[in-house]
Amino acid sequence: MKKAVKGKKLLLICFFVLLAVAIIAATVFASIYFSVKLDAEAVIAERAQVVFYDSSGKITEYSTLSRYVKYEDIGTDIINSFVALEDKRFFNHHGVDYYRTAGALVKNIKAGGYKEGGSTITQQLAKNTMLSSEKTIVRKIKEMKLAKDIEKNYSKEEILEMYLNAIYFGNGVYGIDSACKYYFDKKPSEVGIAESAILAGIVKSPQNYSPVNNPEKAKERMNLVLKLMYEQDYISETEYEQAKNYVYIKPENDDYSPYFGNVISQASDELGISETELIKSPYKIYTYYDPVIQDKLTSLISSGEFYTQCVNGQTAYTSITIADNKTGGISAYFSNKKYDVFSLRRQPGSAIKPIAVYAPALNSYVITPADIVVDEPKNFSGYSPKNYGDVYIGLTDVETAVKRSINTVAVEIYNKMNRDYCLDFINKAGITTEKEDSNLALSLGGMTKGTTPVELCEAYLCLANGGYHTECGFIKEIRDEKNRILYRKNDLNEKIMNEDAAFLMTDMLIKTVQDGTANKLSCLPYAVAAKTGTVDGVNGYNSDAWCVSYNDNFTLCAWYGGENYASENNISITGGGLPALVSAQVYKILPYNQTKRKITTAPANVVELETDLYARENDGKVCLVNPLTPSYYRKSYNFSIKNAPEEYSPYFLMPEQIFNAEYADGEVTLQFLCNPQYEYRVFKKGIAEEEKLIYTSIVGDEKEKTVLSFSDKVERSRIYIYTLEVYFEGKKIATDGIRTVIT
């Protein structure tokens, strides 16, 4: 009996505890539920709150964030695709779909966390326009209350209109009108079934399901939406089957400028939030955007004059990045295709050589521009690089190897270097590498994941700025609505290479423009340094073509390529072709200092010296010239004083001269010291007589100096003038002596 009483008491206690918990929960729920009120202005407003500023601090318009379209101008297929995917009972519930909410709750319990929200379109509208994106119970309760209020005040059509204008579609595109324009170059009333399914599929994860970023995933998502539309009787079986065959092709020649799309991408990454949340937030984003340069760049390139086609006949991708040397900020950016430049990772080809090979080698004093190298087929433990066109020039120097982009030399120098040192240098310059990138292929641009135009600009900024690393990007700083700084670009530039090495690298790249692979830039009236890069494709075509260049004000990266590395997306151009040509035209629209036409001046620890090419060809040594070295065997190079040559050439040395002329018994005896490498000629001239050649020595193989002597018959009581001249390879290099004889 006592046990039964105790059991009843325990049950009673549990009942009251549960009742108390329920009352508390209901009270908390009610306090949260009724704490929010519908903000009519917020729900009908366009919710892109982020504000962009240009380089001068002025607010700039970003059209893809400001368009609004009415319900009657939105195609039925768009409405149906979103309802089928996001909220199939939309036209029947009153803001909250309790069946869906319960199902999501069960799934979340099974998953042990928040995996599915179960939100209706009305709830999503409430969240997008009046709440944050945090995944909490509190927000969910507020969302439900606001959804109910929205349903009481607006029709289903009005709700759909507001919802579709408050969605972020990725790539900096906000709202259904802008999305239709961006992805299809159409109005919302013109979009078809498959296109509508793509748009609906994007919203859950714009980065993953955008047909621009991930065509394959976008296709899978499209098919899911089409299946739901068919199952819910929005389309017929015939329409379903036809729509599944749709192939997305990016529209050409649209008016979209990708600059601010990349600003959004960088900002969301820096703040660690989604692009959707960034767009909705009242952030102030200060950029390096120069509207004058951007307008000129867009006008120049979008004309199509500098486009090229892939093997499949489609227009190849074209990307132009312009960075300010002083700040590292990107002043303007253009692309004829739509993608996030930070995710555009491609093989850089020979454009990587100055950063991966030559600059590190110069910085560690392993090479000089004059160092002798041999360009010929070589094998490095199984790795056999080939030159472009399989052409080899034999004996040459490092400077020529840079100018002509010789692969065998780049690999040979890289093979001599410390790999860890080179990788560390590349990383400090701003280029991301992987552990697998330490192999020899890196010296020719073979990278696991490739690099981006922004990273290449950042790396070349190190050269343009005398060895100091300057961070490259679109954004100066980001502030919140209270003007607090959330992000500021790092302007503390780190010195990653010595000024003599930076100057020598720049000097060789200037010469690459003068008479190397980048000579299409030589038409400019000021100094420009540049390096081209070409990545081999198949069947004689290429996958990528680059030209990275800089003058005293700007660093410019031009890239051409296909959508991916498939053979049909290969191109026929090289880096020294269209990329270099378009770079020259871009420089013509950029401002420059009329009085400052050099990129930089030589630092105190750099000297210019003349070297003897004859010694290089015969002895394989870098030697300084002698006074008699012929002009055609002289070549000037810049050197760091730390490893400049000190040895003089063993050639073209005049011995201590013996040139005697003595008269006796009707003859003049001539005697002189002869260096066998030269040819000596003796000329004779009498008063009122023409000068004539009377003796020519024979160039011998002897290496020792030889005294030559011969006699010349003359008349008495006359004055004769004898001249000794020195010749090399048939060309006079010196007049060694003049003697006057009175007989």
Domain map of the chain by residue range?
67-255, 295-589, 606-640, 659-742
Q: Which two tokens stand for residue 97?
A: 């779909």
Question: Which CATH number is correct for 67-255, 1.10.1040.10, 1.10.3810.10, 3.40.50.12780, 1.20.120.1080?
Answer: 1.10.3810.10
In whole angstroms, give the CA distance from residue 143 to residue 190.
33
Please state the separation of Cα 162 from the chain's center in Å. Answer: 39
Give the per-residue pLDDT at 37. 64
**CATH code assigned to 659-742:** 2.60.40.10
In whole angstroms, give the CA distance from residue 72 to residue 719.
114
Instruction: Note the pTM of the prediction, 2 decimals.
Output: 0.79
In whole angstroms, give the CA distance from residue 170 to residue 276.
8
pLDDT category at 119 given cuts 50, 70, 90 is confident
User: How far from 545 is each of 387, 429, 538, CA to CA, in Å?
Assistant: 16, 21, 14
Give the per-residue pLDDT at 171. 77
- Amino acid 250 reads K
Looking at residue 565, the DSSP 8-state letter turns out to be S
Q: Which two tokens stand for residue 423?
A: 């990788």
Name the average pLDDT for the chain: 88
- Pairing mode, strands 372-375 and 731-742: unpaired
pLDDT category at 114 given cuts 50, 70, 90 is very low
pLDDT, one tens digit per residue, over 180-238 is: 988 998 999 999 999 999 999 999 888 789 898 788 999 999 999 999 999 999 999 99
In this structure, of 209-213, 403-407, 462-466, 542-546, the range with the lowest mean pLDDT score is 209-213
pLDDT, one tens digit per residue, over 332-350 is: 999 987 677 988 899 999 9
- Tell me the range of 99-113, 129-143, 390-404 where mean pLDDT is highest: 390-404
In whole angstroms, give the CA distance from residue 56 to residue 69.
32
| Contact criterion met (CB below 8 Å) for 451 and 345 | yes
The CATH superfamily assigned to 295-589 is DD-peptidase/beta-lactamase superfamily (3.40.710.10)
User: How far from 420 is each of 270, 425, 426, 433, CA to CA, in Å?
Assistant: 29, 8, 10, 12
User: How far from 286 is each of 171, 329, 473, 489, CA to CA, in Å?
Assistant: 19, 11, 12, 10
The mean pLDDT of 160-170, rounded to a whole number, is: 88
CA-based torsion, 347, 353, 356, 359: positive or negative: negative
pLDDT, one tens digit per residue, over 48-89 is: 678 899 999 998 876 566 667 899 999 999 999 999 999 999
- Amino acid 438 reads S
Give the per-residue pLDDT at 431. 97
| Contact criterion met (CB below 8 Å) for 480 and 452 | no
| Contact criterion met (CB below 8 Å) for 739 and 660 | yes
pLDDT category at 124 given cuts 50, 70, 90 is confident
Residue in this structure with the two tokens 């504000």, named with its chain if needed: 51
Taking residue 214's Cβ as centre, other Cβ atoms within 10 Å add up to 16
Give helix 215-231 / helix 76-86 axis angle, nearest 10°. Answer: 90
